[in-house]
Protein backbone atom coordinates (compact mmCIF):
# COMPACT_ATOMS: atom_id res chain seq x y z
CA UNK A 1 0.00 0.00 0.00
CA UNK A 2 1.74 3.16 -1.15
CA UNK A 3 -0.14 6.43 -1.31
CA UNK A 4 1.37 8.80 -3.86
CA UNK A 5 1.63 12.59 -3.90
CA UNK A 6 1.11 13.25 -0.23
CA UNK A 7 3.02 16.52 -0.10
CA UNK A 8 5.36 16.86 2.85
CA UNK A 9 4.50 13.51 4.44
CA UNK A 10 8.16 12.89 5.36
CA UNK A 11 8.40 16.28 7.06
CA UNK A 12 5.14 15.77 8.97
CA UNK A 13 6.31 12.33 10.16
CA UNK A 14 9.70 13.76 11.16
CA UNK A 15 8.01 16.42 13.28
CA UNK A 16 5.29 14.27 14.83
CA UNK A 17 5.30 13.62 18.59
CA UNK A 18 3.48 10.33 17.91
CA UNK A 19 6.41 8.97 15.86
CA UNK A 20 9.59 7.82 17.61
CA UNK A 21 12.28 9.47 15.51
CA UNK A 22 15.36 7.51 16.56
CA UNK A 23 14.02 4.04 17.34
CA UNK A 24 17.48 2.43 17.38
CA UNK A 25 18.40 4.58 20.40
CA UNK A 26 15.69 2.93 22.53
CA UNK A 27 16.70 -0.72 22.12
CA UNK A 28 16.13 -2.50 25.46
CA UNK A 29 14.70 0.68 27.04
CA UNK A 30 11.24 1.12 25.48
CA UNK A 31 9.62 1.34 28.92
CA UNK A 32 11.21 4.75 29.33
CA UNK A 33 9.54 5.97 26.12
CA UNK A 34 6.12 5.15 27.63
CA UNK A 35 7.08 6.06 31.21
CA UNK A 36 5.78 2.76 32.62
CA UNK A 37 6.58 -0.96 32.63
CA UNK A 38 3.39 -2.15 30.92
CA UNK A 39 3.81 -4.87 28.28
CA UNK A 40 4.72 -3.72 24.77
CA UNK A 41 2.92 -5.19 21.75
CA UNK A 42 3.79 -4.35 18.14
CA UNK A 43 2.11 -4.48 14.74
CA UNK A 44 4.39 -4.71 11.71
CA UNK A 45 3.02 -3.26 8.46
CA UNK A 46 0.25 -1.34 10.22
CA UNK A 47 -0.76 0.67 7.15
CA UNK A 48 -3.14 3.49 8.04
CA UNK A 49 -3.43 2.22 11.62
CA UNK A 50 -7.12 1.35 12.06
CA UNK A 51 -6.30 -1.93 13.85
CA UNK A 52 -3.65 -0.67 16.27
CA UNK A 53 -5.38 2.59 17.16
CA UNK A 54 -8.56 0.67 18.03
CA UNK A 55 -6.61 -1.94 20.02
CA UNK A 56 -4.68 0.73 21.93
CA UNK A 57 -7.86 2.65 22.77
CA UNK A 58 -9.42 -0.57 24.11
CA UNK A 59 -6.37 -1.54 26.22
CA UNK A 60 -4.84 1.46 28.00
CA UNK A 61 -2.86 -0.90 30.31
CA UNK A 62 -0.85 -2.19 27.33
CA UNK A 63 1.68 -0.20 25.28
CA UNK A 64 1.55 -0.49 21.50
CA UNK A 65 4.01 0.34 18.74
CA UNK A 66 2.90 0.41 15.11
CA UNK A 67 5.62 -0.09 12.49
CA UNK A 68 5.21 1.03 8.88
CA UNK A 69 7.72 1.37 6.06
CA UNK A 70 6.22 4.32 4.17
CA UNK A 71 5.65 7.88 5.39
CA UNK A 72 2.77 8.41 2.99
CA UNK A 73 0.86 5.56 4.66
CA UNK A 74 1.98 6.29 8.23
CA UNK A 75 0.73 9.86 7.79
CA UNK A 76 -2.86 8.56 7.89
CA UNK A 77 -2.25 6.89 11.25
CA UNK A 78 -0.61 10.04 12.61
CA UNK A 79 -3.69 12.04 11.56
CA UNK A 80 -5.89 9.57 13.49
CA UNK A 81 -3.69 10.05 16.57
CA UNK A 82 -4.02 13.84 16.44
CA UNK A 83 -7.68 13.21 17.22
CA UNK A 84 -7.28 10.24 19.58
CA UNK A 85 -4.13 11.35 21.52
CA UNK A 86 -3.47 7.89 23.00
CA UNK A 87 -0.56 7.88 25.47
CA UNK A 88 -0.03 4.10 25.06
CA UNK A 89 0.58 4.14 21.28
CA UNK A 90 3.69 5.16 19.32
CA UNK A 91 4.68 4.73 15.68
CA UNK A 92 7.96 3.93 13.98
CA UNK A 93 8.72 4.47 10.29
CA UNK A 94 11.16 1.73 9.36
CA UNK A 95 11.68 -1.48 7.44
CA UNK A 96 10.97 -4.41 9.77
CA UNK A 97 14.11 -6.14 8.49
CA UNK A 98 15.96 -4.08 11.11
CA UNK A 99 13.62 -5.00 13.96
CA UNK A 100 16.37 -6.70 16.02
CA UNK A 101 18.31 -3.42 16.11
CA UNK A 102 15.29 -1.64 17.61
CA UNK A 103 14.04 -4.05 20.30
CA UNK A 104 16.10 -5.92 22.89
CA UNK A 105 15.92 -9.65 23.57
CA UNK A 106 12.44 -10.55 24.85
CA UNK A 107 11.34 -6.92 25.00
CA UNK A 108 8.09 -7.43 23.04
CA UNK A 109 5.06 -9.21 24.55
CA UNK A 110 3.04 -9.85 21.36
CA UNK A 111 3.33 -9.28 17.62
CA UNK A 112 0.58 -8.72 15.05
CA UNK A 113 0.87 -9.12 11.27
CA UNK A 114 -2.17 -8.05 9.29
CA UNK A 115 -2.57 -8.48 5.54
CA UNK A 116 1.17 -8.51 4.96
CA UNK A 117 2.44 -7.92 1.44
CA UNK A 118 2.43 -11.29 -0.40
CA UNK A 119 5.69 -10.93 -2.41
CA UNK A 120 4.44 -13.60 -4.87
CA UNK A 121 7.78 -14.35 -6.60
CA UNK A 122 9.65 -17.29 -5.02
CA UNK A 123 12.91 -15.37 -4.98
CA UNK A 124 11.26 -12.76 -2.71
CA UNK A 125 9.93 -15.30 -0.18
CA UNK A 126 12.30 -14.12 2.54
CA UNK A 127 10.75 -10.64 2.38
CA UNK A 128 7.35 -12.02 3.43
CA UNK A 129 6.68 -11.00 7.03
CA UNK A 130 5.57 -14.53 8.13
CA UNK A 131 8.66 -16.16 6.50
CA UNK A 132 11.09 -18.26 8.57
CA UNK A 133 13.66 -15.46 8.23
CA UNK A 134 11.28 -13.01 9.88
CA UNK A 135 10.14 -15.61 12.46
CA UNK A 136 13.81 -15.91 13.48
CA UNK A 137 13.90 -12.13 14.04
CA UNK A 138 10.65 -12.25 16.02
CA UNK A 139 12.11 -15.07 18.14
CA UNK A 140 14.85 -12.70 19.30
CA UNK A 141 12.67 -9.77 20.32
CA UNK A 142 9.65 -11.62 21.76
CA UNK A 143 9.34 -12.79 25.36
CA UNK A 144 9.33 -16.61 25.73
CA UNK A 145 5.54 -16.83 26.26
CA UNK A 146 4.64 -14.43 23.43
CA UNK A 147 2.25 -15.10 20.54
CA UNK A 148 2.34 -13.97 16.92
CA UNK A 149 -1.09 -13.36 15.36
CA UNK A 150 -1.34 -13.23 11.56
CA UNK A 151 -4.39 -12.43 9.39
CA UNK A 152 -4.71 -12.35 5.59
CA UNK A 153 -7.17 -13.00 2.78
CA UNK A 154 -4.36 -14.32 0.56
CA UNK A 155 -4.58 -18.12 0.44
CA UNK A 156 -1.14 -18.65 -1.12
CA UNK A 157 0.51 -16.44 1.51
CA UNK A 158 -1.37 -18.19 4.31
CA UNK A 159 -0.38 -21.67 3.02
CA UNK A 160 3.22 -20.46 2.82
CA UNK A 161 3.02 -19.02 6.35
CA UNK A 162 1.68 -22.33 7.75
CA UNK A 163 4.57 -24.22 6.11
CA UNK A 164 7.12 -21.92 7.72
CA UNK A 165 5.95 -22.51 11.32
CA UNK A 166 7.57 -25.89 12.12
CA UNK A 167 10.91 -25.36 10.33
CA UNK A 168 11.23 -22.06 12.20
CA UNK A 169 10.69 -23.84 15.55
CA UNK A 170 7.21 -22.43 16.29
CA UNK A 171 3.95 -24.18 17.16
CA UNK A 172 0.31 -23.59 16.29
CA UNK A 173 -2.04 -22.37 18.99
CA UNK A 174 -5.04 -21.79 16.67
CA UNK A 175 -5.86 -21.66 12.95
CA UNK A 176 -8.95 -20.71 10.97
CA UNK A 177 -9.63 -20.39 7.26
CA UNK A 178 -12.81 -18.40 7.87
CA UNK A 179 -12.24 -16.02 10.78
CA UNK A 180 -15.51 -14.14 10.49
CA UNK A 181 -17.49 -17.38 10.87
CA UNK A 182 -15.33 -18.80 13.67
CA UNK A 183 -17.28 -18.14 16.87
CA UNK A 184 -14.20 -18.47 19.10
CA UNK A 185 -11.44 -16.73 17.14
CA UNK A 186 -13.69 -13.96 15.88
CA UNK A 187 -14.56 -12.86 19.43
CA UNK A 188 -13.29 -9.30 19.87
CA UNK A 189 -11.81 -9.28 16.35
CA UNK A 190 -10.70 -5.81 15.27
CA UNK A 191 -10.95 -5.32 11.52
CA UNK A 192 -8.06 -3.74 9.63
CA UNK A 193 -8.61 -1.51 6.58
CA UNK A 194 -7.72 -4.38 4.23
CA UNK A 195 -9.84 -6.85 6.18
CA UNK A 196 -12.88 -4.60 5.83
CA UNK A 197 -12.29 -4.12 2.12
CA UNK A 198 -11.68 -7.78 1.26
CA UNK A 199 -14.33 -9.31 3.49
CA UNK A 200 -16.91 -6.96 1.90
CA UNK A 201 -15.94 -8.57 -1.42
CA UNK A 202 -16.77 -11.97 0.10
CA UNK A 203 -13.17 -13.17 0.63
CA UNK A 204 -12.70 -15.46 3.64
CA UNK A 205 -10.15 -14.23 6.18
CA UNK A 206 -7.42 -16.62 7.32
CA UNK A 207 -5.80 -16.35 10.74
CA UNK A 208 -3.21 -18.15 12.80
CA UNK A 209 -1.86 -17.71 16.31
CA UNK A 210 1.58 -19.24 16.92
CA UNK A 211 4.04 -19.54 19.81
CA UNK A 212 7.37 -21.21 20.63
N1 LIG B 1 -2.08 -3.93 8.03
C2 LIG B 1 -2.83 -3.02 7.19
C3 LIG B 1 -4.19 -3.57 6.92
O4 LIG B 1 -4.41 -4.76 7.17
O5 LIG B 1 -5.06 -2.82 6.48
C6 LIG B 1 -2.07 -2.70 5.89
C7 LIG B 1 -1.86 -3.86 4.97
S8 LIG B 1 -0.84 -3.43 3.56
C9 LIG B 1 -1.20 -4.68 2.42
C10 LIG B 1 0.76 -3.90 4.11
C11 LIG B 1 1.52 -2.78 4.80
O12 LIG B 1 2.73 -3.29 5.32
C13 LIG B 1 1.89 -1.64 3.86
O14 LIG B 1 1.49 -0.41 4.41
C15 LIG B 1 3.41 -1.76 3.74
O16 LIG B 1 4.05 -0.52 3.50
C17 LIG B 1 3.76 -2.37 5.07
N18 LIG B 1 5.02 -3.15 5.03
C19 LIG B 1 5.31 -4.13 4.15
N20 LIG B 1 6.54 -4.63 4.39
C21 LIG B 1 7.02 -3.94 5.46
C22 LIG B 1 8.24 -4.00 6.18
N23 LIG B 1 9.22 -4.83 5.83
N24 LIG B 1 8.40 -3.17 7.22
C25 LIG B 1 7.42 -2.29 7.58
N26 LIG B 1 6.25 -2.19 6.92
C27 LIG B 1 6.04 -3.01 5.88
For residue range 117-133, what is the model confidence (pLDDT) as tens digits? 999 999 999 999 999 99
Global pTM reads 0.97
Confidence of residue 142 (pLDDT cuts 50, 70, 90): very high
Residue to mutate, 65, 117, 127, 193, ligand 1, most ligand atoms under 8 Å from C-beta: 117
Residues with CB under 6 A from ligand 1: 1, 44-47, 67-70, 73, 95-97, 114-117, 192-195
Residue 4 has pLDDT above 60, yes or no: no
The mean pLDDT value of the chain amounts to 97
Rounded to an integer, the average pLDDT of 94-115 is 98
Whole-number pLDDT of residue 118: 98
3-state secondary structure the chain: CCCCCCCCHHHHHHCCCCECCCHHHHCCCHHHHHCCCCCEEEEECCCCCHHHHHHHHHCCCCEEEEEECCHHHHHHHHHHHHHHCCCCEEEEECCHHHHHHCCCCCCEEEEEEECCCCCCCHHHHHHCCCCHHHHHHHHHHEEEEEEEEEEECCHHHHHHHHHHHCCCCCEEEEEECCHHHCCCCCCCCCCCHHHHHHHHCCCCCEEEEEEC
Percentage above 90 pLDDT, the chain? 96
Whole-number pLDDT of residue 7: 72
4-18, 28-42, 125-139: range with lowest mean pLDDT: 4-18
Residue to mutate, 50, 67, 69, 74, ligand 1, most ligand atoms under 8 Å from C-beta: 69
For residue range 49-104, what is the model confidence (pLDDT) as tens digits? 999 999 999 999 999 999 999 999 999 999 999 999 999 999 999 999 999 999 99
Amino acid sequence: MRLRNVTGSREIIAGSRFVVQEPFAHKGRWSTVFGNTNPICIEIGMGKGQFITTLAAQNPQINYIGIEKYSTVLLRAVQKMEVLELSNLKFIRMDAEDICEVFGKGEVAKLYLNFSDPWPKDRHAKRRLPSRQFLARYHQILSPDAYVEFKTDNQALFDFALEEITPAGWQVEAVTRDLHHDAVLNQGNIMTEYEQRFSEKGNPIYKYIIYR
